[in-house]
Amino acid sequence: MRGYHDIGGNAAGPVPKLELPWLFWEKKVEAIRNLLGDGTRRLISLDELRHGFESFGVEKYKRYSFYRRRLEAVIDTLEVKGVLTRGEVDAELARIRREWEDGESHG
């Protein structure tokens, strides 16, 4: 049985051959994922990350870009393992946004 994430072999037209630069946040997501899965920490394996993608459901999977899926899978996996909660991540993002906005208005 094919999952929604298994699109290999589907008719999709020609594949664009563009070399797109990484966005700053995408580099950070990849670096964090690498650190969490390295030989020292071993908090998230590639199999767990893939399981995360495959557990999203079709709507969530299609809504996000490749690196956003990676980020969401990392957060979901760390939440399941009790390392952090989605609420903690959201609170930290809100704090960073406030600091950023305060810096912009005072800078």
What was the pLDDT predicted at 89? Answer: 96
Q: Give the integer Cα–Cα distance in Å for 84 and 69.
A: 18
pTM of the model: 0.77
In this prediction, residue 8 carries a pLDDT of: 61
Instruction: Give the model's pLDDT for residue 48.
Output: 94
Q: Are 51 and 85 in contact (CB under 8 A)?
A: no
Helix H or strand E segment including 88: helix 86-106
Q: What are the tens digits of pLDDT across the range 46-82?
A: 999 989 988 998 899 889 988 999 999 999 999 999 9
* Tally of CB atoms within 10 A around 73: 22
Q: For residues 86 and 78, what is the distance between their CA atoms, to the nearest angstrom?
A: 9
Instruction: Reply yes or no on whether the pLDDT at 88 is more than 60.
Output: yes
